[in-house]
Structure 1
């Protein structure tokens, strides 16, 4: 599908996700600020209940929204369309067991991005039919960042999406500095690393280094 002219374009490069549990004592807002300093173009806020109340999450989302808006960075909220609306985020990312994409579209309207996590070809095809703007492809490799995550889908599913899915996508799951080049070389234009970034001693420098690795692997 083609994004409407009112929607922001889905950017290539590093897709940043907050994960306070792995952030070495730094807050999600501090991590987002450092990601922006490193030149990241998209940040997803990901926090799970009951670790924080909705009031705490909303306050963080609004603070990150201010930072991202000032820097021209896209801001996506994971799982919670209501938080995305209240924080005026650019969109929301949902999983297979969350609200269906058409229902999320009813809440957010036509001008927000909706991403959907997928783990197999049938889910990618269904995402196109449902009207998702982009999909998550993974977990490519084994990951401990999320609880109750499915088994790694491997590079074969990535190859399928590159070949057969018309939607933009982000490759995610177990991607590190040592294997990001292989993922990009196989056709991933947007790649997510979580702990590799949020747990880094120098987040901004790490983002810049990873962006450079992506460009090199893509032959840019």
Structure 2
């Protein structure tokens, strides 16, 4: 089954070992997926390539344990080399998430093939222009934000003057209308943001800390997923 044809970015978890308060990445992913999360991105700026391959294996195993390998997509942030090596080792990785200054989307598509998922973070400073003019034919979704300033990614939303630009719900609704592909929104998203965010027309929300740093990641995940389902227009 081609997961790319029915990719679900409604509840999207971004996770790496630096975000889990010392807990297992695999266990948190398993709990989030059990609670209804639909998409997982492994992202770490501190892990080595080998560590990232192992984290990807843990993530794939966690999703498989819940019986969701055909429904919950797993991507790796930024590291085409890690994805290719992981696949060589038989690990099920569904694609990549890149930024505009990372490996070009065309190259990712060439190496990963037509069945792989490719997501792109659109730069906050030129978001509207980019989403209007970008060739999205090789992409599956845009990641946009930040909704709030976030300690998980302090440089998220920085403009050329070093000021953090955040996005209002009105702007996000406008982006959703402009985009030719699905949009997922994150950046400091918390449970109380979900009702309004679900009304903007975007396809989903992404979180890091709201799940990975929660005292009980499973119940935090369930609350987010339930709120999204209740309020989604």
TM-score (norm: length of structure 1): 0.88
Q: Say how many residue pairs are matched.
A: 213
State the match for 1:23 in structure 2: 20
State the match for 1:141 in structure 2: 148
What runs of 5+ residues in structure 2 fail to find an aligned partner?
88-92, 158-164
Aligned match for 2:191, one of 173, 177, 181 = 177
Specify the SS of the correspondent of 2:6.
coil
Q: Is the 8 A contact 1:124 1:161 kept in 2?
A: yes
**Shift in Å at residue 13 of structure 1?**
2.6
- Where do 1:130-209 residues align within 5 Å? 131-150=138-157, 151-209=165-223
Instruction: Write out per-residue CA displacement over residues 110-162 of structure 1, whole angstroms, 9 at most, x where no aligned residue.
Output: 11010000121122234434621111011122212114222223334312222
Flag the 1:126–1:54 CA change in 2: closer, same or farther, 3 A: farther
Distance of 2:215 and 2:30 partners within structure 1: 14
Specify the SS of the correspondent of 2:177.
helix
Distance of 2:133 and 2:97 partners within structure 1: 15
RMSD: 1.9
Flag the 1:109–1:203 CA change in 2: closer, same or farther, 3 A: same
- Where do 1:56-135 residues align within 5 Å? 56-69=51-64, 70-72=67-69, 73-88=72-87, 89-118=93-122, 119=124, 120-129=127-136, 131-135=138-142
Instruction: Write out per-residue CA displacement over residues 87-115 of structure 1, whole angstroms, 9 at most, x where no aligned residue.
Output: 23111000111011111111111110100
Q: Could you tell which deviates more after superposition, 18-27 or 57-66?
A: 18-27
TM-score (norm: length of structure 2): 0.84
